[in-house]
Chains A and B, each alone.
Chain A
């Protein structure tokens, strides 16, 4: 635990000092996206990797966080910290709700329900004119920026803090009795229930935590882009990435989604800028299938295999 805290402090200090080394705003812009994906991938992995319940609706949880933040900002001019908390709360509630509906059934029903929730919520938001409906809402960034020179850098730092919290939460879940219970559920839910694991409660807890973290990642979104509109906030891209990154990185350990997010996120940013953004999306899909078929344990699994084959 102490090592993790120390590492977290180092990471945040590094993040805070970045503006002294990089002066190109695009670096922070892109890095924000990568950090955001670290949060989304880690959050997804809590339910998907540890417990085995696949969430296809990451876009919905993300967008709920974003739109909650926007709505509250428009109504009450809440500061960013409260927006993030509100976004997390809203998405956590959503995770809990979807869980209540479907986690009592077999795994695939939960996955289908997450797709359903994504489309339904997108339709609701499209019809909700207070937050702009289908044509979107331009949001103004607040005039003053605490601590840092530019707003982009500030948001980057905020997202770094959220990422550290998310990874910390995932690590806590993984190493505690909660993680053991989730792993038991993933391996054989019936046996877990018979052994006394409170399966429904653990699944609901994981779904709520996962949703809340995704909402927290989504809350700064409107400020980041100065504009929010449903089809990009609810984009299927988030779902595919949140699924692909833990699978590519490795689902069993909290560092897997981080590896996957950093790798895939950076590749995507590079491809978007150099080749085209449609190809970028195709790359994710292809990598996902390749890894699911060839390296199901992800990069962590490959590393483990290489290490064990080197032993005498």
Chain B
């Protein structure tokens, strides 16, 4: 599904966390609280998408992409209208202090984000491989017809998957605003990073995304320190184009 609006939902999640956190709640907790809200939102969006596009035939690929692009654009402009173009950040006990590992100092908020991200990815990977619905989600990407014959409803599965994906946007957005300031135009850069990680890992590989994410993170940091901040946004996209040109299946893809 051409969900180019995912990074926009991510930024939406970050700003939602900002809103909730401004009432004094810890941002990570806010993210967790927002997850069910975002899940419902995701289900609603998918239901709308399905009713207008997928049920009417498969030549709607272009319209699907255009629809999500429009949604992403509306979300971005909506955020600009609501919050202005300034950057927003949150405050928590672990922001601003760092932990010492021998000679290195690691900012505590990075550790927290890393921990949560790791937990999230592992949970999702386990879910996708161990539970019935999880495996159904992987199956629907491989062969929808066969899945229907196996007794699962592909529409419900896709709706569920979309809901889960949007819910992760909530917690990911919370992590985002914990790591650093957020502003509405961020979704353009994150489109690149998201697609870079997914394509580098190979579509369908959950554990691959961890490796791909690490590779991207390291590459960006190297570029940041050697060439300067102005080149950093291009790193993700350059890797993406490289992978597309050389090995489109990605590192772990089928």
Q: In the complex, what's the smallest C-beta–C-beta distance from A261 to chain B, in angstroms?
A: 16
Q: Answer whether A115 and B192 are a contact pair too, CB < 8 Å, given A126-B230, A127-B231, A236-B73.
A: yes
Separation of A232 and B230 alpha carbons in the complex (Å): 17
Q: Check: A205 CB closer than 8 A to any chain B CB.
A: no
- Pick the contact of A101 from B4, B67, B241 — CB < 8 Å? B241
Give the contacts of A204-260 with B (CB-CB under 8 A).
236, 240, 243-244, 247
B66 contacts partner chain A, Cβ-Cβ < 8 Å: yes
4 A-B pairs with least C-beta separation: A116-B237, A289-B70, A123-B234, A288-B70
Count of chain A to chain B residue pairs whose CB atoms are closer than 8 Å in the complex = 113
Question: Distance (Å) between the CB of B190 and the closest chain A CB?
Answer: 11
B195 within 8 A of A: yes
Whole-angstrom CA separation of A56 from B59 in the bound complex = 19
Cβ A111 vs Cβ B81 within 8 A: no
DSSP class of A's interface residues: helix, strand, loop or mixed?
Answer: helix
- With A278-B81, A282-B78: A116-B230 Cβ-Cβ less than 8 Å: no
Q: Judge whether A95 is part of the interface by a CB distance below 8 angstroms.
A: no
Q: Is residue A131 within 8 Å, beta carbon to beta carbon, of the partner chain?
A: no
Main secondary structure of the interface of B (DSSP, over half): helix
Residue B95 interfacial (CB < 8 Å): no
CB of A7 within 8 A of chain B? no
Which chain A residues numbered 94 to 152 have a C-beta less than 8 Å away from chain B? 101-102, 105, 107-109, 111-113, 115-117, 119-120, 122-124, 126-127, 134
Contact of A187 with B59 in the complex, beta carbons under 8 Å? yes
Closest chain B residue to A294, Cβ basis? B52
Interface string of B238-249 (1 = CB under 8 A from A): 101100110010
- Beta-carbon contact of B63 and A296 below 8 Å: yes
Q: Find the A residue at minimum CB distance from B234.
A: A123
- Residues from chain A with Cβ under 8 Å of B71 in the complex: 289
Which of A52, A115, A247 lies at the interface centre, i.e. has the most chain B CB atoms within 10 A of its CB?
Answer: A115
Q: Do A113 and B241 form a contact, CB below 8 Å, given A282-B78, A288-B73, A293-B67?
A: yes
A109, A240, A278: the one within 8 Å of B73 (CB): A240
- Report Cα–Cα, A101/B199, bound state, in Å: 14
A119-B192, A285-B77 as given contacts; A247 in contact with B244, CB under 8 Å:
no
The one of B62, B74, B195, B248 in contact with A289, judged by C-beta atoms closer than 8 angstroms, is B74
Report which of A105, A279, A281, A288 forms a contact with B248, defined as CB distance below 8 A.
A105
B66 adjacent to A292 (CB under 8 Å): yes
The residues of B that contact A119 with a CB separation of less than 8 Å are 188-189, 192, 233-234, 237
Interface residues of B in 199-254 (CB under 8 A from A): 199, 230-231, 233-234, 237-238, 240-241, 244-245, 248
Complex contact B61–A107 (CB within 8 A):
yes
Q: Which of A127, A236, A286, A293 contacts B74 (CB 8 A)?
A: A286
Q: Could you give 28 example pairs across A and B, Cβ below 8 Å?
A: A48-B62, A54-B66, A56-B69, A105-B244, A105-B248, A107-B61, A107-B62, A109-B199, A111-B2, A111-B4, A112-B191, A113-B244, A115-B237, A117-B237, A120-B234, A120-B237, A127-B231, A134-B230, A240-B69, A243-B66, A278-B80, A279-B81, A281-B73, A286-B74, A288-B73, A292-B67, A293-B52, A296-B63
- CB contacts under 8 Å to B, within A171-206, are 186-187
Chain B residues with CB under 8 A of A240: 69-70, 73
Q: How far is the CA of A117 from the CA of B234 in the complex (A)?
A: 9
Instruction: Provide the A54-98 mask, 1 if CB < 8 A to any CB of B, else 0.
Output: 101000000000000000000000000000000000000000000
